[in-house]
Amino acid sequence: MSFLCEPIGLSHYLAVGAFLFVTGIVCMATKRNALGILMGIELVLNGAILNFVGFASPYFRDENLGLDGHMIALFVIVLAAAEAAVALAIALNFYNNHATIDVDRANELKG
C-alpha cells in the first residue's frame, strides 16, 4: 500500500488519458451502432483533455503549459459538442432514409 503515500505524478494522468483513448478506439472499431461510435469519439477526446490538463498543472511540472493547456481543453470541449451535433444530425438523416442505424449497412451512401 506504499503507493498510496506517494504523491501522484504526470505519468498517472498520461496513463489514464491513454486508457480512455484506447477504450475509445476499441469502441469505435467494434460498435455497429452509429451512436456507439460517437460515444467512442467522446472517450478519445476526453483522453486528450486529460493529457492537456495534466501538462498544464503546476502540481506536476514547474515548466507547465499553464493557462494555454486549460484554454486548449476548453476549445476541445466546445468542438466536441459541435461535432456531436453534426454527427447526430447525419446519423438521424441516415436513419430516416435507410430505417437502420447499423453502420455496416451504410456502405452504399452515395448522396
74-103: which residues touch another protein (CB under 8 A)?
74-75, 77-86, 88-93, 95-97, 100-102
The string of DSSP letters for 15-80 reads HHHHHHHHHHHHHHHH--BHHHHHHHHHHHHHHHHHHHHHHH-TTT-SS--THHHHHHHHHHHHHH
Among 25, 32, 5, residue whose Cα is nearest residue 91: 32
Q: Please list every residue from 34 through 53 that binds another protein, using CB under 8 A.
A: 35-36, 38-40, 42-43, 46, 49-50, 53
**CB closer to another protein out of 8 and 109:** 8
Number of residues in contact with another protein, rule: CB under 8 A? 79
Task: Spell out, one character per residue from 55 to 74, where the chain touches another protein: x when CB under 8 A holds, - when not.
Answer: -xxxxxx----xx-xxx-xx
Please report how the helices 34-56 and 10-30 are oriented relative to each other, as an axis angle in degrees rounded to 10: 170
Question: For residues 7-36, which are near another protein according to CB under 8 A?
Answer: 7-16, 18-27, 29-33, 35-36
Choice between 32 and 106, CB closer to another protein: 32
The CA R_g of the chain, rounded to the nearest whole Å, is 18
Q: How far is the CB of 53 from another protein (least distance, A)?
A: 4
* Residue with smaller CB distance to another protein, 3 or 108: 3
Grid coordinates representing 35 are 451512436
